[in-house]
Amino acid sequence: MIFKNRRITTKNLSPQDAWDKFVDMNEEKFIAFMRPATDIGEICKIYASDLPKAFEYEKILFTNKQIKEIERLLCIYLTDFVNSKGGYKKLDLMTEEEIEDYFDQKFEKSLEYMASYFDCTPEEIYQAIDILDEDED
């Protein structure tokens, strides 16, 4: 079966709509995950430029104009959010250690899911990953 690429529309999107449609986490987690970048404009530019890769599996196409518009809308949304909290320094951002723990937990859950899918243990999946890493060396 051939899957067609889908186009999205950014016409009439509000900053809130853009956030809801293209970001799947809360604002403070999003900002924390984008470190070391701390400039909202830079964060939004980086994120928006990665959208085509993030939505590749869904076969969604973005024009350069749409990416710029999403970047602009996300920047407005996040700037308003940061201002509503009293500024960047007042945000409750995860520490580097908390971020590392978060991704470790996500990795472990992914291993468990794959192990369940392939009817094996998480350790066997981990060993297979190690073997793949050795092949790249």
CB atoms within 10 A of CB 106: 10
- Specify whether 131 is located in the same domain as 86: no
Domain identity same for 19 and 72: yes
Quote the pTM value: 0.78
Which residue range is the domain that position 61 belongs to? 6-90
Q: What's the total number of domains in the chain?
A: 2
Which residues of the chain fall short of a pLDDT of 70? 1-5, 131-137
Residue 1: inside a domain, yes or no? Answer: no
Q: Indicate if 69 and 107 belong to the same structural domain.
A: no
Residue 6 is predicted with a pLDDT of 77
Burial class for 4, CB neighbours closer than 10 Å (0-12, 13-18, 19+):
exposed
Do 86 and 100 lie in a common domain?
no
**Same-domain check for residues 125 and 80:** no
Residue 57 has a pLDDT of 82
pLDDT at residue 61 in the model = 86
- What is the pLDDT at residue 105? 94
> Is 124 domain-assigned?
yes
On whether both 83 and 103 belong to a single domain, the answer is no
In a domain, 36, yes or no: yes
pLDDT at 30: 96
Taking the alpha carbons of 15, 48, 37, 25 in that order, is the dihedral positive or negative?
Answer: positive
In a domain, 29, yes or no: yes
